[in-house]
Amino acid sequence: MVNHLAIIMDGNGRWAEERGLTRSDGHKAGARQIGVAARAAIKAGIKYLTLYAFSTENWKRPKDEVAVLMGLISEFAKSELPNMMRDGVRLRTIGRTADLPLAARTALEFAIKQTEKNDTLTINIALSYGGRAEIVDAVNKIIAEKRTAPIDEKEFVNYLYAPDIPDPDLLIRTSGELRLSNFLLWELSYSELYVTNTYWPDFDENTLAEALASFGSRKRRFGGLNKK
């Protein structure tokens, strides 16, 4: 059973190019697909859905493309709020979200506050996120506490962005790319990986079902012999 699903949402640009559309059109289609994925996750009994929406490296993209993406973040938080309230979805974010424009932060903060008591599904959106940055930020928190005692892995987790959310059981990457792209480097240590050639704007309940079927056929040992 998948309790926590993480997805690297990839392929918006290629999806658009193959249809003679702009990259912005691809990002808009990808943003709309978040709601589709959320409803599919709820139907599958998944409790946590972490989506890689904007990385720390994505700030290097052309300014007009970044502006479109930031606008889509605000639009998503506003337009999807009624659906999240209806479906019992709680919204959260991870990453260096202070780097986001004020409009995006304000829309997100409002949606996060409004949905904080919902408990059917938690959508955790990674924004201005990098796995290495998360680990560095955790180390800097520890340094700021002026700790002198050694710290173990169990304690270290408490300094990550979302220590109360369990590690992902399954990571799906769309568009066929075979890399982690600096996503949840700590949390994915024992996650199962599934890659689909489907572009993110085409991700649907059937795509998720294929990934979950693959997951269900695997034995998870976590470095041991008996665990499943």
- Rounded to whole angstroms, the Cα distance separating 28 from 32 reads 6
Query: What six digits make up the tokens of 168?
Result: 């992902």
Q: Report the C-alpha gap between 151 and 57 in whole angstroms.
A: 30
Asked about 58 being catalytic, the answer comes back as yes
- Catalytic residue chosen out of the listed positions 10, 25, 169, 202: 10
Specify whether 226 is catalytic. no
Instruction: Give the closest residue to 135 by CA, choosing from 167, 157, 168.
Output: 157
DSSP 168: P
CA-to-CA distance for 94 and 39, rounded, in angstroms? 21
Using an 8 Å Cβ cutoff, are 28 and 201 in contact? no
Q: Which of 3, 58, 118, 182 is the catalytic position?
A: 58
Residues recognised as catalytic: 10, 58
